[in-house]
């Protein structure tokens, strides 16, 4: 099997005037793809540049609307592919570290996971709840599975390292 990773750092699902969004990446999915693993929303939750919206939204500027459009575009691009959509995992950054932490729009990670799950159910694609299957919440957040990064705010842990990615990959293999 050939694996292609089209992920781009700092991407969002929503379309906004800052940075990348997933729609360019979706357009680059090879037409003969058998399995698509879609894992987006972390930056939408963290930076909250767009509102969460509702399941009735169809516009790419709300999270619900953008998720719906993303799934529909993947289905159109590769109609026979199995689509697996991952939940968010907890970011290891101080202001959004707990299950009850809210972003600047007042939404929790669980609100975003609920949106992802509702969209998956609407379009009959697989929702993979990583916080149950791989990374349940705890105070340590499996720190050894995250890549240490630094910025002007100090040390933080957002992206998985090789060990963390192997755990997620093993989980996805069970679904495939």
pLDDT tens digits along 118-143 = 999 999 999 998 876 555 555 444 55
**Per-residue tokens: 67:** 């998720």
Task: Note the pTM of the prediction, 2 decimals.
Answer: 0.85
Asked whether residue 166 carries a pLDDT value surpassing 50, the answer given is yes
For 102-164, the three-class secondary structure string (H helix, E strand, C coil) is: CCCCCCCHHHHHHHHHHHHHHHCCEEECHHHHCCCCCCCCCHHHEEEEEECCEEEEEEECHHH
CA dihedral 17, 19, 20, 21 (to 10 degrees): -40
Residues ≥6 apart with Cβ < 8 Å to 155: 148, 149
Beta-bridged to residue 31, according to DSSP, are none
pLDDT of 140 reads 47
Give me the pLDDT at residue 65, please.
Answer: 98
State the maximum Cα–Cα separation within the chain, in Å, rounded to a whole number: 45
pLDDT, mean over the chain:
82
């Amino acid at each position: 099997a050939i694996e292609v990773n089209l992920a781009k750092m700092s991407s969002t699902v929503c379309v906004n005037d800052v940075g990348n969004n997933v729609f360019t990446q979706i357009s680059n999915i090879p037409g003969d793809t058998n399995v698509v693993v879609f894992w987006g929303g972390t930056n939408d939750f963290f930076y909250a540049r767009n509102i969460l919206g509702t399941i009735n939204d169809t516009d790419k500027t709300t999270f619900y609307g953008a998720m719906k459009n993303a799934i529909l575009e993947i289905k159109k691009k590769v109609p026979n592919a199995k689509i697996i959509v991952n939940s968010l995992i907890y970011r290891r950054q101080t202001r959004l570290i707990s299950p009850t932490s809210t972003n600047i729009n007042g939404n929790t990670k669980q609100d975003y996971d609920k949106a992802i799950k509702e969209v998956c159910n609407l379009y009959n694609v697989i929702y993979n709840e990583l916080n149950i299957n791989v990374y349940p919440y705890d105070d340590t957040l499996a720190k050894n599975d995250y890549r240490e990064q630094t910025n002007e705010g100090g040390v933080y842990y957002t992206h998985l390292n090789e060990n963390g990615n192997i755990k997620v990959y093993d989980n996805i293999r069970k679904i495939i």
